[in-house]
């Protein structure tokens, strides 16, 4: 995932004997495996709102935003206060052993806040990949079917089902197979790279002919705006067609909103831009302002399919993260962060589009709300073949300005 930390001040000379970025990085290389790649050898010392300071005293604007986790900024005072208050009460009981009201009320809030006024239920987990795993478990338990369909270029996490669903081999799947079976991919509709909505739907029909009977498919999972894939928003007509196909074959539609949720696209959820509803939604990242919390929210009847004990985890619904999430929801509401994301995104897109007059290599400026990308063409001024359905890796430069 390409993000940028932009230095915004000159470094303060490191105190004698103080750790430097280079010294810590040398220790990292010796102590930690290279598979955990890092974006920048800039070691964080502290952070506040949109800024971050490294161990050498340099100040940065943090465009990384913890990979879409900090829609409310670093250490929002309300979030810090909520965590502090919870620290004074208890930090862990294991929700499945001794539950607490704050998790129940957060589920109630998410059931109301997510798209659709139908009866919903929410289960909490820890990471985004875990939410994806559990959404598939729930879909399979509810439909008693094995198959799952995902999109080329989609990203759904680094666990085994997450990798299987991810529609991008390098670097996420290289060397890690075999993956769970009954997972299939169709190309994502990205007109810029020559895949129309009709092409994507034709591929789905072909899949049903060649690889799996639609009546054996439990779910279609997709990101309403592909994040890692290059900030490609799924066209409304594609979402409508998928909803129709799901309804005709009894397939569940899962919206992976782990990256798009909580105001980033200018609405609470990217599915709020569409006129069809998902059956299940996964959430994580900005849900809890920097603490590890994820969730699956969906139709109550579907969510109740797994038997007691089938869902959960030792740290699922961690009380500190639940407290943080309540504060995050308050802040998004009270500080009108959806409107703010829309305004920032509009401003950014306006500036990027103005640049097109002098930078002909810009082949596209796109995005919903503050989830904005600018894509550059190749030397021949044609869009680079960055579609994951083609051979070369994505070259979209993503601007994560939440």
Ligand X SMILES: Cc1ncc(COP(=O)(O)O)c(C=O)c1O
Q: Which residues are catalytic?
A: 155, 256, 285
Q: Is residue 21 a contact partner of residue 56, using CB atoms and an 8 Å limit?
A: yes
Tell me if 67 contacts ligand X by CB under 6 A: yes
For 12-74, strand residue ranges (E) read 44-48, 51-54, 59-62
Please tell me whether residue 88 adopts helix, strand or coil conformation.
Answer: coil
Tell me if 258 contacts ligand X by CB under 6 A: yes
Tell me if 166 contacts ligand X by CB under 6 A: no
Helices (H), 53-196: 65-68, 77-87, 101-113, 128-143, 160-165
Please tell me whether residue 238 adopts helix, strand or coil conformation.
Answer: helix
Shortest Å distance, C-beta 402 to ligand X: 13
Tell me if 156 contacts ligand X by CB under 6 A: yes
Numbers of helices and strands, H then E, in the chain: 11, 16
**Nearer of residues 228 and 272 to ligand X, judged by Cβ:** 228
Q: List the one residue from 73, 128, 263, 319 that touches ligand X (CB under 6 A).
A: 128
Please identify, among the stretches 56-64, 154-162, 204-212, 393-401, the one whose residues bind ligand X according to the rule CB under 6 A: 154-162
Tell me if 129 contacts ligand X by CB under 6 A: yes
Please tell me whether residue 45 adopts helix, strand or coil conformation.
Answer: strand
**Nearer of residues 208 and 328 to ligand X, judged by Cβ:** 328
Choose among 160, 139, 296: nearest CA to 218: 139
Q: List the one residue from 47, 149, 251, 284 that touches ligand X (CB under 6 A).
A: 284
Q: How many residues does the chain have?
A: 402
Q: List the one residue from 115, 167, 227, 383 that touches ligand X (CB under 6 A).
A: 227
Question: Between β-strands 252-256 and 225-226, what pairing exists: parallel, antiparallel or unpaired?
Answer: unpaired
- DSSP single-letter state for residue 274: S
Shortest Å distance, C-beta 215 to ligand X: 27
Tell me if 223 contacts ligand X by CB under 6 A: yes
**Nearer of residues 224 and 383 to ligand X, judged by Cβ:** 224
CA distance 58 to 12: 6
H or E, element range at 346: helix 337-355
Tell me if 52 contacts ligand X by CB under 6 A: no
Please identify, among the stretches 84-92, 253-261, 312-320, 390-398, the one whose residues bind ligand X according to the rule CB under 6 A: 253-261
Shortest Å distance, C-beta 86 to ligand X: 21
Residue number of the CB closest to ligand X reads: 128
Choose among 273, 152, 286: nearest CA to 222: 152
Tell me if 318 contacts ligand X by CB under 6 A: no
Please identify, among the stretches 95-103, 125-133, 237-245, 320-328, the one whose residues bind ligand X according to the rule CB under 6 A: 125-133
- DSSP single-letter state for residue 167: S
Task: Compute φ and ψ for 295, nearest 5 degrees.
Answer: -150, 155
**Nearer of residues 217 and 296 to ligand X, judged by Cβ:** 296
Tell me if 133 contacts ligand X by CB under 6 A: no
Binding interface with ligand X (CB under 6 A): 67, 127-129, 132, 155-157, 223, 227-228, 256, 258-259, 284
């Amino acid at each position: 995932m390409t993000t940028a930390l932009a230095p915004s001040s000159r470094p303060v000379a490191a105190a004698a004997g103080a750790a430097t970025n280079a010294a810590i990085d040398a220790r990292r290389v010796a102590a930690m495996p290279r598979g955990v790649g890092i974006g920048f050898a800039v070691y964080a010392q502290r952070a506040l709102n949109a800024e971050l300071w490294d161990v050498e005293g340099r100040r940065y604007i943090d465009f990384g935003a913890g990979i879409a986790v900090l829609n409310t900024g670093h250490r929002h005072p309300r979030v810090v206060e909520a965590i502090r208050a919870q620290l004074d009460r208890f930090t862990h009981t294991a929700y499945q052993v001794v539950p607490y009201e704050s998790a129940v009320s957060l589920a109630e809030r998410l059931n109301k806040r997510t798209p659709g006024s139908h009866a919903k239920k929410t289960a909490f987990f820890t990471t985004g990949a875990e939410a994806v795993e559990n959404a598939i478990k729930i879909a399979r338990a509810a439909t008693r079917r094995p198959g799952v369909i995902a999109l080329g270029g989609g990203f759904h996490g680094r666990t085994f089902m997450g990798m299987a669903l991810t529609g991008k081999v390098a670097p996420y799947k290289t060397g890690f197979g075999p993956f769970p079976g009954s997972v299939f991919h169709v190309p994502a509709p990205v007109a810029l790279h020559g895949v129309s909505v009709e092409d994507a739907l034709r591929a789905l029909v072909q899949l049903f002919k060649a690889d799996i009977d639609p009546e054996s498919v439990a779910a279609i999972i997709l990101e309403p705006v592909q994040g890692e894939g290059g900030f490609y928003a799924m066209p409304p007509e594609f979402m409508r067609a998928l909803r129709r196909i799901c309804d005709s074959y009894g397939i569940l539609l899962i919206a992976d909103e782990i990256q798009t949720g909580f105001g980033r696209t200018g609405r609470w959820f990217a599915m709020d831009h569409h006129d069809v509803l998902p059956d299940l939604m996964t959430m994580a990242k900005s849900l809890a302002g920097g603490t590890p919390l994820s969730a699956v929210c969906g139709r109550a009847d579907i969510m109740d399919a797994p038997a007691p004990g089938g869902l959960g985890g030792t740290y699922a619904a961690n009380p500190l993260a639940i407290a943080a999430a309540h504060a995050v929801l308050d802040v998004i509401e009270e500080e009108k962060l959806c409107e703010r994301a829309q305004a920032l995104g509009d401003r950014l897109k306006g500036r990027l589009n103005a640049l097109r007059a002098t930078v002909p290599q810009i082949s596209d400026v796109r995005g919903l709300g503050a989830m904005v990308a600018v894509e550059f063409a190749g030397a021949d001024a044609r869009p680079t073949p960055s579609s994951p359905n083609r051979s070369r890796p994505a070259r979209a430069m993503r601007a994560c300005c939440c």
